[in-house]
Structure 1
Amino acid sequence: MIVVALTDSDSYLKWGAATLDRVVPHDERHIIVVANPVMPSPTQRAAALATTTWAGRDADVLSADEAVERVRVLGADAVLVAMRGPTAALLLAMLAELPRRPVLWSGIPGIALPARRKALVYRAQADLMIVHSHHEREAFRALDRVEGMQHQFALTSLPFLDRRPSVGDDIVFAAQALVPATRVQRRHLVAALVATAETHPERRVVLKVRAQAGEKQTHDERWPLDSLLPSVVPSNLVVQPGPMTAVLDRAGGVASVSSTALIEAVARGIPALVLGDYGVSDEQLNGIFESSGLIGSTRDLEAGRFFEVDATWAHRNYLHDAGDDDAHAMLAATVEQHANAPIVARSARRSTTGGRLRRAWDRRTALGRHDGRAWGTVALAVGVPARALVRAARKLKA
């Protein structure tokens, strides 16, 4: 089986490569970054691939059209579309139009709960959707039934989970772009990190960041935590980019508002702490951790208190037995079915009002200056003022 992963951002590159390693480790695999506004830098690509079989190598960076042509030339049996929603929708549609189309599979890296309609709408043309927990499969199946999309959901453990024990005592905070959401809250968090370092001078306090200045991420980070640090900080408070695995190798406790790093820590037997200071809810992306036994506050962080996970919660949420995984079997069966009797390409669920101009708009907004087609410029010239008028009209009605 020939399998290709098409990726767009740092987190999707990491997830795409690791998912190929976990689900199709013995097949012919290729990984491509599609040029787009948030594509990872060479440093980010190296970090994303560091814990995969691509370590020490780089992914090819191709335009969307070149990537689809590569898939055609390779004769790919399956393509993992590991991309943010709008880019995923675009590439799924392009791949679905190939004369010999491959089986299309997709998913969301990390914690994908709460299940959101847009996640399915953008990936409506995927033959198979990857989920990472029993809870995710339940939630997405229920939403899928309501939406009438009839997706298949295949289970596999989070692909970058590592079961090796840590050998260090660092206090690690895993930063995120979206939460906490306000500048005031982020300053409060930074103050807590400084206080933690002052209270525990014998331990390193590591602020683990996703990107360095100027690098793009899957989600824009308006106020990077490291930029809010005071000019003078305790010498044991350090900012560290790079692979999460390397940070966890030395961790004695891991805290975050909602990062998947918490799951990675628990998998390695490292005590964890979900900071509930800013709320525990779907809006804070940490509602999933209710009943986990991990929720505390910045006061716990400053005291160096971390918790053990509830076993029942863990089995339902990302830490199930490896024998429960069925993604490889489902993908192989779908590829075999498609080879014997081609599966009809699934229909897109996004609006196509506007015809060719709408398609050009969707392409340009997904790919930005990497679009490469003149129609994208025309679509922007027409679409930007038209969208402004629509929004103004909605405000007047409200």
Structure 2
Amino acid sequence: MTFPGSRAPRLRVVAIGDADSFVKWAAHLVDQVDGISRHLLLVQTPLVVSDAQRDAAVAGTRFAEHPASISRIAFNDIVAWLAKDAPDVVVLAGRAPFVRLLGREIDRLTRRPVVVSGVPGMSIPALRGALEYRRHCDLMVVHSHREVTAYSRLGRALGVTVPIALATLPFATPTRTTESGTDLVFAAQALVPADPAERRRIAEILRLAAVADPSRRVVVKLRSRPGEVEAHQERDGYTELLESAPGNLVFSYAPMAEALASAEGLVTVSSTAAVEAMAAGVPVIALDEFGIRPDLLNHVFDHSGLLGSADDVVSRRFRHPDARWAAANYFHDSRDSRWWDEVRRLVAQRRRGALPARIVTAPRGGALHAAWHRRMVLGEADRTLSGRVAGVLVTPVITALTALRRRRHAVSVPDAIAADFALAPSPLAEPVRRRSAASASIR
């Protein structure tokens, strides 16, 4: 009971993540909310952030100011930690199989929190796996009116009912306070493009831009140093492709906000860094050298006014977004972002016993499939015999089935563009087994 003149207790919010982009998203999303108690748990998986990646991910948030609010934890200790801490809200911040695996752990709690999840950046087209693996969450957060529509339509098509809420993308907050810089900043992506020839072409474009004006830098912004891992496994890395680059072409591992502080403009194929740049007042080129394709995830930039060619990059012809496109894509009125209001409503419902638990159902394939799923997320951190056996027996089967589904459900570019969502498997192909048997799904 709250007595007159007294304050209601602060809601306790715990974000749980592992990979760099998800940790950054969760830290900044939770940091948007005032008047709460917050903590960030980093789960030991093959994708878990290094200390340097952690620091870059939380830079500019209250987590950076209070390092004690961040803890590293083994997967087997999560249930005990949550049972003792008893948070009101848990934000699950990881790739889709990570979210489902953590959902099973939350199902073991006597006092169940409200479970929130989402994807850590632009998510057009809305992908089937991104929604299906989060169907047990009480709320899924997306970041534009367009994404709300796309995921709602996808849910109806799949028969999957997940409440969708709109939040301002945590990196879309205006920040530019200085005059324009002089750097051309390229936001590299691990899987986009995936074709080696296209990645070599991008490297050549960046080299040409550096040669065109030796007085100004070309900065290739990378998310992981040698030996570190990202949410996705990079192929044909730019450090190797640009070994013989001019002296004014440099690599940066700094937080994106720091790189943008000295930027004249940003170049990318489809990185969410474009939104962060626009919010900072930095103009952008969304490189359309290879067209608009599902596997490039660049359909979102159609009609944005940001698409540009290799010549535009070399000549540094950056541009700002079309106003109508911006309003529908990540730069909506802040008053439309009601995700936290929805979270508070769900917390009140759960306290009254009026919010049923959304339980993660047993997988098809039973215990062996569940063991494989755990092994794929945790890698060598899963020390169970069942996990090791499942990794050996099930991985070849899953690899074959994934390839078969991708061939059977191949969609044309016009269909993907028309719908803004995809019923087919993710167009981004990534090995099922990577390094220490990390997760196989894309989002």
TM-score range, shorter chain: over 0.9
**Greater shift in the superposed pair: 272-281 or 377-386:** 377-386
Q: Which residue of 1 aligns with 2:16?
A: 6
Q: How much does 1:386 deviate?
A: 5.4
3-state SS of 1:283 partner: helix
Residues 340, 393 of structure 1: alpha-carbon distance in 2 compared, 3 angstrom cutoff: closer
3-state SS of 1:94 partner: helix
How far apart are the structure 2 equivalents of 1:378 and 1:72?
30
Aligned letter for 2:57? A
Q: How does 1:299-318 map to 2 (within 5 A)?
A: 299-318=311-330
Q: Deviations over 1:52-106 (max 9, x none)?
A: 1111527311112212321111111110001101111100121023111111010
Q: How much does 1:265 deviate?
A: 1.1
Tell me which stretches of 4 or more aligned residues in structure 1 moved more than 6 Å. 388-395
Q: Are 1:52 and 2:61 an aligned pair?
A: yes
Q: Deviations over 1:113-144 (max 9, x none)?
A: 10111111111110000010000000001111
Q: Which residue of 1 aligns with 2:44?
A: 35
Q: Deviations over 1:307-326 (max 9, x none)?
A: 12100000000011111110
Q: Which residue of 2 aligns with 1:152?
A: 163
Q: How does 1:227-266 map to 2 (within 5 A)?
A: 227-231=240-244, 233-266=245-278
Residues 200, 95 of structure 1: alpha-carbon distance in 2 compared, 3 angstrom cutoff: same
Q: Are 1:207 and 2:220 an aligned pair?
A: yes
Residues 76, 307 of structure 1: alpha-carbon distance in 2 compared, 3 angstrom cutoff: same
Q: Are 1:65 and 2:63 an aligned pair?
A: no
Q: How much does 1:266 deviate?
A: 1.1
Q: How does 1:186-197 map to 2 (within 5 A)?
A: 186-197=199-210
Aligned letter for 2:42? V
Q: Which residue of 2 aligns with 1:15?
A: 25
Q: Are 1:181 and 2:190 an aligned pair?
A: no
Aligned letter for 2:368? L
Q: Are 1:368 and 2:376 an aligned pair?
A: no
Q: 1:220 aligns with which of 233, 237, 240?
A: 233
How far apart are the structure 1 equivalents of 2:238 and 2:289?
16
Q: Which residue of 1 aligns with 2:418?
A: none
The answer as to whether partners of 1:124 and 1:347 remain within 8 angstroms in 2 is no
Q: Deviations over 1:282-301 (max 9, x none)?
A: 22111000000000111100
How far apart are the structure 1 equivalents of 2:260 and 2:403?
49
Aligned letter for 1:43? A
Q: How much does 1:391 deviate?
A: 8.3
Query: What runs of 5+ residues in structure 1 fail to find an aligned partner?
Result: none
Residues 393, 111 of structure 1: alpha-carbon distance in 2 compared, 3 angstrom cutoff: closer
Residues 378, 270 of structure 1: alpha-carbon distance in 2 compared, 3 angstrom cutoff: same
3-state SS of 2:21 partner: helix
Q: Which residue of 1 aligns with 2:121?
A: 110
Q: How many residues align?
A: 393
Residues 190, 89 of structure 1: alpha-carbon distance in 2 compared, 3 angstrom cutoff: same
Q: How much does 1:348 deviate?
A: 3.3
The answer as to whether partners of 2:222 and 2:252 remain within 8 angstroms in 1 is yes
Q: Which residue of 2 aligns with 1:278?
A: 290
3-state SS of 1:97 partner: coil
**Greater shift in the superposed pair: 100-109 or 154-163:** 154-163
Aligned letter for 2:369? R
Aligned letter for 2:35? H
> What is the TM-score when the length of structure 2 is the normalising length?
0.84
How far apart are the structure 2 equivalents of 1:179 and 1:393?
22
How far apart are the structure 1 equivalents of 2:198 and 2:221?
18
How far apart are the structure 2 equivalents of 1:130 and 1:391?
27
3-state SS of 2:295 partner: coil
Coordinate RMSD, CA, aligned: 2.1
Aligned letter for 1:153? I
Q: Which residue of 1 aligns with 2:5?
A: none
Query: What runs of 5+ residues in structure 2 fail to find an aligned partner?
Result: 1-10, 409-443
Q: Are 1:323 and 2:335 an aligned pair?
A: yes
Q: Are 1:356 and 2:367 an aligned pair?
A: yes
